């Protein structure tokens, strides 16, 4: 039987945690989660802008001419241009590189500094993109946006996981995904209106990204650092004060002791990236740092988000209709995120992953069948099939919205121990951005050459993803981060790996021996 332990046994000390929802905690969550709006706005705005005629005429005239030649036809290849896709993917390649610096800053100076630094970089990138007069300026702006995304995606999920009480950590962490979805929706709505503002509407779409960046930076000034990070930096008194404010009570002894013990174990680790390779951290490495972030992108979701207007136009819809369809799909993404927030700590992570897998596979097959029936150049997609296509994509999107979208960030951020958390989250972001960039760069070419087969490919990958979850991921709902190691010790597969002699148990025994000697 797969799955093994279900998160009920969370340790005696965890049962002593006290606290309530405070205004201080709510402020921290709102400001911290704004990082998702940056990521989401860019996901939504890129595809819309690259389908605007004014933008294409200015920077990609050959693509514009090809588009006009097949204006009302199904032509999968009319947007296939590597420089055009580089406009989208360059941000994620830059984010990939910046992740390594973000990991150091997040660990050394705290989550708050990384969040604010990411906001500054994103603001500058948006400003340059809005004023761009050539492709070089576009790419430079995208690189700065990517650096901002790299820092934000590194720090925000960590921040939300660490600031949240264990019982509602799932819902709180999903604020990142919710604001990401809202950012996508806002971007699609803005694109729908700016597409009508000739010839500068695309500049407004790109420039408005400065708004969430400004809000995140200003909010960051008032943002408290997480108690976990302060303990990690040796600021115990300040950490205790923040923990009491966030929890709304002075009775935080049990939780504070857990934080200190986790920090002591973390300080004993001199090389966190190397420590990830130890058998005791093998589950976190395979599931959290590699598997989930890679599969999140291989689901094909971001391809749909990047290029939804382009996809719909390639299938014969007009510019306005394609942008309107994008608004519908992004609304489904917001709906999915809201559903996930309301049930994730009740139904659990595994249930949402597995149910959504079935729904996403079915939707991709339906999309592939529709496109196969109307396969070929020169054919116009009938209105009834176009409606079914949009419904199928919406069904896929809403399932992703309550599963791989939010849980792809939540589960990795909650399973790493403190000693490898910053390094682990760095790998999560790195792997995520690598596959995001690769898919963004290749998807339009894949659509051109594979046509409907690209959706069959994604369906097959989702089958593999779902089996991966069923076999290897235990339930993590309501399990305190400091107690997460108990899951692997009781899991049917991982228990034999984490219990190996070099799994880190020797380090623990040495710490216990030192503590006994001091006493």
* pLDDT tens digits for range 478-513: 787 777 888 898 999 999 998 876 644 454 445 444
Q: With residue 337 as reference, give the H or E element that holds it.
A: helix 319-347
pLDDT-wise least confident of 379-393, 432-446, 494-508: 494-508
Instruction: State the pLDDT at residue 8.
Output: 32
Read off the pLDDT band of 383 (50, 70, 90): confident
- For residue 454, pLDDT over 70 is answered with yes
Between residues 141 and 42, the one the model is more confident about: 141
Instruction: State the pLDDT at residue 518.
Output: 38
Helices (H), 175-269: 175-194, 201-207, 210-221, 227-232, 236-247, 253-267
Q: Tell me the C-alpha distance between 6 and 476, whole Å.
A: 7
Average pLDDT, the chain: 83
Instruction: State the pLDDT at residue 115.
Output: 92
Q: What global pTM score does this model have?
A: 0.77
- Is residue 375 helix, strand or coil? coil
Residue 289 gets which letter from DSSP? I
Instruction: State the pLDDT at residue 357.
Output: 96
The distance from CA 430 to its chain's CA centroid, rounded to whole angstroms, is: 11
Residues, the chain, total? Answer: 519
* Per-residue model confidence as pLDDT tens digits over 204-258: 999 999 998 998 899 888 888 999 889 888 899 999 999 888 888 888 888 888 8
Which range among 286-290, 426-430, 500-504, 506-510 has the greatest average pLDDT? 286-290
Instruction: State the pLDDT at residue 40.
Output: 87
* Per-residue model confidence as pLDDT tens digits over 126-172: 999 999 999 999 999 999 999 999 898 888 878 887 888 877 877 78
Instruction: State the pLDDT at residue 384.
Output: 78
Between residues 14 and 260, the one the model is more confident about: 260
Instruction: State the pLDDT at residue 420.
Output: 81
Instruction: State the pLDDT at residue 265.
Output: 73
Average pLDDT over residues 290-316: 77
Other C-beta atoms closer than 10 Å to the C-beta of 26 total: 12
Q: Can you give 61-109 as a three-state secondary structure string?
A: HHHHHHHHHCCCCECCCCCCCHHHHHHHHHHHHHHHHHHHHHHHHHHHH
- At which residue do the structure tokens 């700065």 appear? 144
Between residues 456 and 314, the one the model is more confident about: 456
- For residue 516, pLDDT over 60 is answered with no
- For residue 374, pLDDT over 80 is answered with no
Which superfamily, per CATH, for 13-60+82-518?
MFS general substrate transporter like domains (1.20.1250.20)
Average pLDDT over residues 397-422: 86
**Residue 11 falls in which region: left (phi positive, over 0), alpha (psi -120 to 50) or beta:** left
**Residue 360 falls in which region: left (phi positive, over 0), alpha (psi -120 to 50) or beta:** alpha
The distance from CA 404 to its chain's CA centroid, rounded to whole angstroms, is: 9
Average pLDDT over residues 54-77: 77
Average pLDDT over residues 371-388: 69
- Based on the number of CB atoms within 10 Å of its own CB, is 250 exposed (0-12), middle (13-18) or buried (19 or more)? exposed
Instruction: State the pLDDT at residue 332.
Output: 92
Read off the pLDDT band of 1 (50, 70, 90): very low
Q: Tell me the C-alpha distance between 313 and 321, whole Å.
A: 8
Instruction: State the pLDDT at residue 36.
Output: 84
């Amino acid at each position: 039987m797969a799955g093994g332990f279900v998160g009920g046994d969370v340790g005696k000390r965890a049962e002593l945690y006290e606290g309530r929802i405070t205004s201080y905690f709510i402020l921290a969550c709102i400001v911290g989660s704004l990082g998702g709006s940056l990521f989401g706005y860019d996901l939504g705005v890129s595809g819309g802008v690259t389908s605007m005629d004014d933008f294409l005429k200015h920077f990609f005239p050959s693509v514009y001419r090809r588009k006009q030649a097949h204006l009302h036809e199904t032509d999968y290849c009319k947007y296939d241009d590597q420089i055009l896709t580089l406009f989208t993917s360059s941000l994620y390649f830059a984010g990939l590189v910046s992740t390594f610096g973000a990991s150091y800053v997040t660990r050394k100076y705290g989550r708050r500094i990384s969040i604010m630094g990411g906001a500054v970089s994103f603001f500058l990138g948006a400003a340059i993109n809005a004023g761009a007069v050539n492709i070089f300026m576009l790419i430079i702006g995208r690189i700065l946006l990517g650096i901002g995304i790299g820092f934000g995606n590194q720090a925000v999920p960590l921040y939300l996981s660490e600031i949240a009480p264990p019982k509602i950590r799932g819902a709180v962490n999903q604020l990142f995904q919710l604001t990401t979805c809202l950012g996508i929706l806002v971007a699609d709505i803005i694109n729908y209106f700016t597409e009508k503002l000739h010839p500068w509407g695309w500049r407004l779409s790109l420039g408005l990204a400065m708004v969430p960046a400004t809000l995140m930076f200003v909010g960051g000034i008032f943002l408290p650092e997480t108690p976990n990070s302060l303990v990690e930096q040796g600021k115990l008194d300040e950490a205790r004060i923040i923990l009491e404010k966030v929890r709304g009570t002075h009775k935080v002894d049990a939780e504070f002791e857990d934080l200190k013990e986790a920090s002591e174990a973390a300080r004993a680790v001199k090389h966190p990236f190397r420590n990830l390779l130890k058998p005791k951290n093998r589950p976190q490495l395979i599931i959290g740092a590699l598997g989930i972030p890679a599969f999140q992108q291989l689901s094909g979701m971001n391809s749909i988000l990047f290029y939804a207007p382009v996809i719909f136009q390639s299938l014969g819809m007009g510019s306005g209709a394609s942008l309107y369809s994008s608004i519908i799909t992004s609304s489904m993404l917001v709906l999915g995120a809201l559903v996930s927030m309301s049930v994730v700590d009740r139904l659990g992570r595994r249930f949402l992953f597995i149910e959504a897998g079935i729904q996403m596979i079915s939707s991709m097959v339906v999309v592939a069948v529709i496109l196969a029936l109307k396969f070929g150049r020169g054919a116009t997609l009938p209105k009834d099939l176009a409606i079914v296509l949009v419904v199928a994509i919406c069904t896929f999107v809403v399932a992703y919205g309550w599963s791989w979208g939010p849980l792809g960030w939540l589960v990795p951020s909650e399973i790493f121990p403190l000693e490898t958390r910053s390094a682990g989250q760095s790998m999560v972001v790195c792997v995520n951005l690598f596959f995001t960039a690769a898919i963004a760069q290749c998807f339009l070419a894949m659509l051109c050459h594979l046509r409907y087969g690209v959706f069959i490919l994604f369906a097959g990958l989702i089958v593999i993803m779902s089996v991966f979850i069923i076999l290897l991921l235990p339930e993590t709902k309501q399990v305190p981060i400091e107690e997460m190691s108990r899951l692997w010790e009781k899991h049917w597969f991982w228990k034999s790996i984490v219990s190996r002699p070099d799994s880190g148990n020797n380090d623990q025994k040495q710490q216990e021996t030192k503590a006994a000697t001091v006493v």
